[in-house]
Amino acid sequence: MDYSLYALLLLVSNDVIIANILARVVSATFNYNVNRNIVFNSEDSIYKSGSMYLLLALVILIMNTLLLSLFVSLGINSLLAKVIVEVLLFSVSWIVQKKLIFNSKKVLVSEK
């Protein structure tokens, strides 16, 4: 979703930064719901997981935009640069979501 929306917005605006930010905001909203409910089947509160996901999404957005701008400034095609950046950041995002955001392991405390 992110890449398709980015490509469309880039075509319309011809601005890498604007296209990237708008595409990331839309896809992050969709991805949070899919990841929370389907991928990780999290039972944590929306407030807890949502606030943590928002922080992750902001960090990823900043890293994504900076890397994308760097690659484009180095002469890499903006569509190819987007693919490269997404591949680089995907693993980081997935690990943080699995280990920190949607980790619903229940800690059992033994009673004395």
Is residue 108's pLDDT more than 80? no
pLDDT tens-digit readout, 8-47: 999 999 999 999 999 999 999 999 999 999 998 888 889 9
- Quote the pLDDT of residue 2: 86
List the chain domain ranges. 2-101
DSSP the chain: -HHHHHHHHHHHH--HHHHHHHHHHHHHHHHHHHIIIIIS---S-HHHHHHHHHHHHHHHHHHHHHHHHHHHHTT--HHHHHHHHHHHHHHHHHHHIIIIIS--PPPP----
pLDDT tens-digit readout, 52-89: 999 999 999 999 999 999 999 999 999 999 999 999 99
Q: What is the pTM of this model?
A: 0.81
